[in-house]
Amino acid sequence: MVERLKVLVVLLALGAMFSSSYAEPQRISIESHPARDVYPGWRLGMQIYSFREFTFFEAVDKTASLGLDWIESYPGQRFRAERDDMKFHHTMSAQMKAEAKKKLKDAGIKMVNYGVVGLPNDEAECRKVFDFAKEMGIETIVSEPPLEAMELVDRLCQEYKIKMGIHNHPKPSAYWDPDSILKACKGRSSWVGSCADVGHWQRCGVNPVDGLKKLEGRIVSLHFKDINGENEDVIWGRGKCDVRAMLTELDRQKFQGVFSNEYEANWKNSVPDIRKCTEYFNKVAAELKPSGWANLLTEDLSNFTYKPGSWLLEDGTLARNAKSNIWTKQQYGDFILDLEFKVAQKTNSGIFFRTADIKDCVQTGIEVQIFDSYGKGSNKHSCGAIYDCLAPSENTTQKPGLWNRITIICRGNKINVVMNSRQIIDMDLNEWTEPRKNPDGTKNKFKTAYRNMPRKGYIGFQDHGNPVWYRNIRIKPLDE
């Protein structure tokens, strides 16, 4: 009996060791675009009050141009350019809500927060906000409710399964200091906490790092910023708030949640500044706990091989300028590549990957076709096709001049492509068993059977003599 028990103990130990060493890998979606956050669980997005001079529709476009996947909306913003009398608000019409959802979906952006919005000690009025948040998929309502409303708000948060973050406007706001927020949260559930506006703390003489420490366990989201000696917003890392120290503290707390960039300066042309804020945040966050996502473009394109002057990078957008392909210096095997592209009328270009020889890219690499296919059918030369081998399942290409988002996922013999939120390619390279022939019997131009194509190589963007633009080019290697 003792011997049998010893054997059982050994088997259990081996089982535990095996399960911990060989845990099932995290599932990678091949049916939608991925979140591209550089720190697991930290979602950097926009408080679109930063774009208060523009409409909600324009703010969504600006957020997309920054490569951010999340937004926090606010009540009162002009809805769209055609109607100045229409405002984004939790009481807006069903049609406006449907239009907002479509705009967000088309841009690949999720609305996660809403505020700052009033939550009075009036259940009927509060329910209007909570009903709106539930319908729109909002996770956190940002507010400054009166103390006497906290019991009601907490009850509704638990009922709707929606969080509420108390925002801290500067003095004379009742919540300007962390102690007042702690007092309001005392005895409340974990559904209520702080939406920490670190810039307003700095303006009120509260050290932001100290504020974060005091509210540990109660922080549900942040209005993130950096300010200078004149209390004006500046590019992160250049002001007094000590962004690196704040992120280090939140990492220590194991915070998980949304950082809403609220950049209240240079109102008419803030995107370049916000892009620099994003770059600094991602640099520090990736040093603390990298998710694997990285920007494929360096500011000077030094990690690429190309003919000088043939491609230009300006404000995050890579544009074809003269005849030359552009290639990564690093080789990639299994990876997720996510980016946006824009074409002109009749544009022809391509994204090459796993290319063994950049001088013979057509015969030694795989190409996803980039093409002006708007309004046309679907074939092996359409936009999103694996060129000359596999047609996209549907044509999801936008009109020339509009941005498209595309995700290419490579894992061993499997190639998947998602474009504009629809999976269009599900390819098994092992089914291409003959040179110059596709599994359906049609011919292709490749001297090597696709199952024998290199499984690692360079990534490149093709110049085919036509205008083409790429931006927000992110990659996550899967073979490291």
Residue 188 domain flag: yes
Residue 297 domain flag: no
Residue 36 domain flag: no
Domain end, chosen from 240, 269, 291, is at 291
Whether residue 99 has pLDDT greater than 90? yes
The reply to whether 285 and 335 lie within a common domain is no
pLDDT at 85 (0 to 100): 85
CA nearest 365: which of 321, 405, 333, 402? 333
Q: Is residue 29 very low, low, confident or very high in pLDDT (cuts 50, 70, 90)?
A: low
**How many whole angstroms from its chain centre is CA 125?**
33
Relative to beta strand 366-371, strand 348-355 is antiparallel
- Share of residues in the chain with pLDDT > 90 (%): 90
Whether residue 19 has pLDDT greater than 60? no
pLDDT at 82 (0 to 100): 79
The span from the CA of 408 to the CA of 338, in Å, is: 6
DSSP symbol at 436: T
The residues near 476 (Cβ < 8 Å, ≥ 6 apart) are 34, 291, 292, 293, 294, 335, 336, 338
pLDDT at 267 (0 to 100): 97
pLDDT at 28 (0 to 100): 63
The span from the CA of 47 to the CA of 72, in Å, is: 5
Q: Is residue 480 very low, low, confident or very high in pLDDT (cuts 50, 70, 90)?
A: low
Residue 1 domain flag: no
Lookup: tokens for 256:
């998980």
Mean pLDDT estimate for the chain: 93
CA distances from 56 to 49, 277, 278, 436 (A): 9, 21, 21, 50
The reply to whether 277 and 308 lie within a common domain is no
Domain end, chosen from 264, 291, 318, is at 291
Q: Is the distance from CB of 198 to CB of 212 less than 8 angstroms?
A: yes
pLDDT tens readout for residues 251-302: 999 999 999 999 999 999 999 999 999 999 999 999 999 999 999 998 899 9
pLDDT at 114 (0 to 100): 98
The reply to whether 406 and 472 lie within a common domain is yes
The reply to whether 375 and 274 lie within a common domain is no
pLDDT at 128 (0 to 100): 98
What is the pLDDT averaged over residues 403-419?
A: 97
Whether residue 13 has pLDDT greater than 90? no
What is the pLDDT averaged over residues 237-257?
A: 98
CA distances from 235 to 60, 226, 273, 311, 478 (A): 21, 7, 6, 27, 32
What is the pLDDT averaged over residues 372-382?
A: 95
pLDDT tens readout for residues 425-435: 999 999 999 99
Whether residue 6 has pLDDT greater than 70? no
The reply to whether 329 and 267 lie within a common domain is no
Residue 440 domain flag: yes
Relative to beta strand 110-114, strand 70-73 is parallel
Residue 153 domain flag: yes
Domain end, chosen from 248, 268, 291, is at 291
Q: Is residue 31 very low, low, confident or very high in pLDDT (cuts 50, 70, 90)?
A: confident
pLDDT at 403 (0 to 100): 96
pLDDT at 15 (0 to 100): 40
**Number of folded domains in the chain?**
2
The reply to whether 265 and 205 lie within a common domain is yes
Domain that holds residue 145: 42-291
Q: What is the 3-state secondary structure (H, E, C) of 141-176?
A: EEECCCHHHHHHHHHHHHHHCCEEEEECCCCCCCCC
The span from the CA of 104 to the CA of 33, in Å, is: 13
Looking at the DSSP assignment, which residues form a beta bridge with residue 224?
Answer: 261
The reply to whether 91 and 220 lie within a common domain is yes
The reply to whether 318 and 381 lie within a common domain is yes
CATH number at residue 121: 3.20.20.150
Whether residue 23 has pLDDT greater than 60? no
Q: Is the distance from CB of 208 to CB of 202 less than 8 angstroms?
A: yes
DSSP symbol at 390: B
What is the pLDDT averaged over residues 417-424?
A: 95
Q: Is residue 11 very low, low, confident or very high in pLDDT (cuts 50, 70, 90)?
A: very low
The reply to whether 245 and 327 lie within a common domain is no
The reply to whether 244 and 121 lie within a common domain is yes
Relative to beta strand 422-428, strand 414-419 is antiparallel
CA distances from 362 to 108, 355, 426, 451, 468 (A): 31, 8, 21, 15, 19
Whether residue 212 has pLDDT greater than 60? yes
pLDDT at 163 (0 to 100): 98
CATH number at residue 423: 2.60.120.560
The reply to whether 282 and 163 lie within a common domain is yes
Q: Is residue 30 very low, low, confident or very high in pLDDT (cuts 50, 70, 90)?
A: confident
Residue 126 domain flag: yes
Lookup: tokens for 404:
């498209």
Whether residue 370 has pLDDT greater than 90? yes
Whether residue 136 has pLDDT greater than 60? yes
Residue 20 domain flag: no
Would you say the C-alpha torsion 99, 102, 108, 111 has a positive or negative sign?
positive
pLDDT at 24 (0 to 100): 34
Whether residue 214 has pLDDT greater than 60? yes
Q: Is the distance from CB of 337 to CB of 353 less than 8 angstroms?
A: yes
> 27-37 burial, b for 16+ CB within 10 Å, e for fewer?
eeebeebbebb
DSSP symbol at 328: E
Q: Is residue 247 very low, low, confident or very high in pLDDT (cuts 50, 70, 90)?
A: very high
Whether residue 4 has pLDDT greater than 60? no
Looking at the DSSP assignment, which residues form a beta bridge with residue 458?
Answer: 331, 355
Q: Is residue 367 very low, low, confident or very high in pLDDT (cuts 50, 70, 90)?
A: very high
pTM exceeds 0.75 for this model: yes
The span from the CA of 61 to the CA of 229, in Å, is: 32
Q: Is the distance from CB of 193 to CB of 143 less than 8 angstroms?
A: no
- Share of residues in the chain with pLDDT > 70 (%): 94
Whether residue 379 has pLDDT greater than 50? yes
The reply to whether 279 and 363 lie within a common domain is no
